[in-house]
């Protein structure tokens, strides 16, 4: 039985895994993100040592931080376009791993990989479409339609939409490009920049959770009006640490739509991910072409 490799490439750590099926990870290791050369050395050692025990991987799938060049016709296909992380801007992660491991390597964004896993095996299992949103240090999203991540001439960057200002919110925002785009106003970093506190530590009655929910709800409404996904899975650290956000977000979505899309079962549509921390790794395996069951 062939084994497949997966990498969840993050700004803080790289998670690596080997599996024969999407739900059965055989070996797994995490490495702190340093320079590309240092990080890649650890990754290659992991896959080489695993190969000695479990056999060579048939293919590798990567869900990576970005932005990424995902145009198969580009000479930079598979590279990280630009990032403040030293050494990573322009680094071709896919090409480097393909050369080192001598196997087929598929790459997509971290959110598309997680969304793919949630769509096929998690919160969207059996449904035609799912949107995956991560609300962590930043905000990102992907739309999985018929089991495939949606791409245009670039991958989605839906964390940078421009929400209408929530009543009473004058925070200028922290996005270096847009100031008060969604990520600039409602990401984990933005929440912390608003006063050095996390949502979970706020006193009863603090208006901030409702403000953040208003902004996240605007992204959910836009998704519903653009693509009507059967599920919107809200992942990332801010979502998982603050389950109380979910009812606030659903209420705000309902208010913002004002009944326009008919009665919607928002409890069923706007949900937590089902695969928790493994969505990214499982998504990488699916990108690699692993069997789903």
Contacts of 42 (CB under 8 A, 6+ apart): 14, 29, 31
Among 92, 112, 129, 187, binds a second copy (CB under 8 A): 129
> Which one of residues 170, 177, 205, 293 is an interface residue with a second copy (CB under 8 A)?
177
Residue 221 CB, nearest approach to a second copy (Å)? 7
Ramachandran category for residue 57: left, alpha or beta (phi over 0 → left; psi -120 to 50 → alpha): beta
Interface with a second copy, residue 222, by CB under 8 A: yes
Instruction: Express the helix, strand and coil content of the chain in percent, nearest 5 each.
Output: 40, 25, 40
Minimum CB separation of residue 252 from a second copy in Å reads 11
146 to 175, contacts with a second copy by CB under 8 A?
A: 150-158, 160-165
* Binding region for a second copy (CB under 8 A) out of 50-58, 118-126, 189-197, 226-234: 226-234
Footprint (CB under 8 A) of a second copy, residues 70-89: 81
Q: Closest approach of Cβ 201 to a second copy, in Å? A: 30
Window 240 to 259, contacts with a second copy (CB under 8 A): 256-259
CA–CA dist 66, 110 (Å, integer): 8
Q: Which residue has the tokens 């930043």?
A: 138
Whole-angstrom distance, CA of residue 62 vs CA of residue 167: 40
139 three-state secondary structure: strand
Q: Under rule CB under 8 A, which residues in 202-221 are in contact with a second copy? A: 218, 221
Look at residue 178 and give its three-state secondary structure: coil
CA pair distance 166, 169, nearest whole angstrom: 6
Least distance from a second copy to the Cβ atom of residue 152, Å: 3
Backbone angles phi, psi at 192, to 5 degrees: -70, -40
Q: Which is nearer to a second copy, 4 or 171 (CB)?
A: 171
CB of 102 or CB of 154, closer to a second copy: 154
**Which helix or strand (DSSP H or E) is residue 30 part of?**
strand 24-32
The piece of 88-96, 117-125, 144-152, 236-244 that touches a second copy (CB under 8 A) is: 144-152
Residue numbers at the binding site for a second copy (CB under 8 A): 81, 128-129, 143, 145, 150-158, 160-165, 177-178, 218, 221-230, 256-262
């Amino acid at each position: 039985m062939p084994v497949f490799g997966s990498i969840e490439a993050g700004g803080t750590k790289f998670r690596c895994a080997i599996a024969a099926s999407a739900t059965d990870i055989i070996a797994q290791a995490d490495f702190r993100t340093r320079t590309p050369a240092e990080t890649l050395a650890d990754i290659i050692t992991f896959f080489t040592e695993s190969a000695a025990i479990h056999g060579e991987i048939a293919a590798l799938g990567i869900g990576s931080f970005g932005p990424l060049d995902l145009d198969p016709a580009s000479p930079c296909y598979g590279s990280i376009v630009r990032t403040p992380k030293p050494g990573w801007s322009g680094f071709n992660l896919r090409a480097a791993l393909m050369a080192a491991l001598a196997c087929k390597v598929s790459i997509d964004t971290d959110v598309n990989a997680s969304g793919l896993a949630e769509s096929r095996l998690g919160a969207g299992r059996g449904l035609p479409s799912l949107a995956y949103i991560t609300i962590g240090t930043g905000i990102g999203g992907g739309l999985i339609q018929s089991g495939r991540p949606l791409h245009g001439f670039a991958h989605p960057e839906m964390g940078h939409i421009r929400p209408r200002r929530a009543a009473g919110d004058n925070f200028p925002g922290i996005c270096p490009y847009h100031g008060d785009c969604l990520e600039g106003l409602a990401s984990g970093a933005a929440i912390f920049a608003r006063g050095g506190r996390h949502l979970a530590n706020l006193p009863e009655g603090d208006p901030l959770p409702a403000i953040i929910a208003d902004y996240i709800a605007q992204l959910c409404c836009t998704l519903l009006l653009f693509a009507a996904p059967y599920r919107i899975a809200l992942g990332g650290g801010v979502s998982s640490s603050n389950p109380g956000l979910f009812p606030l977000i659903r209420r705000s979505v309902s208010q913002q739509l004002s009944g326009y899309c008919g009665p919607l079962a928002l409890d069923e549509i706007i949900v937590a991910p089902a695969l928790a921390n493994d969505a990214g790794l499982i998504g990488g395996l699916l990108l690699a072409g692993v069997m789903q069951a």
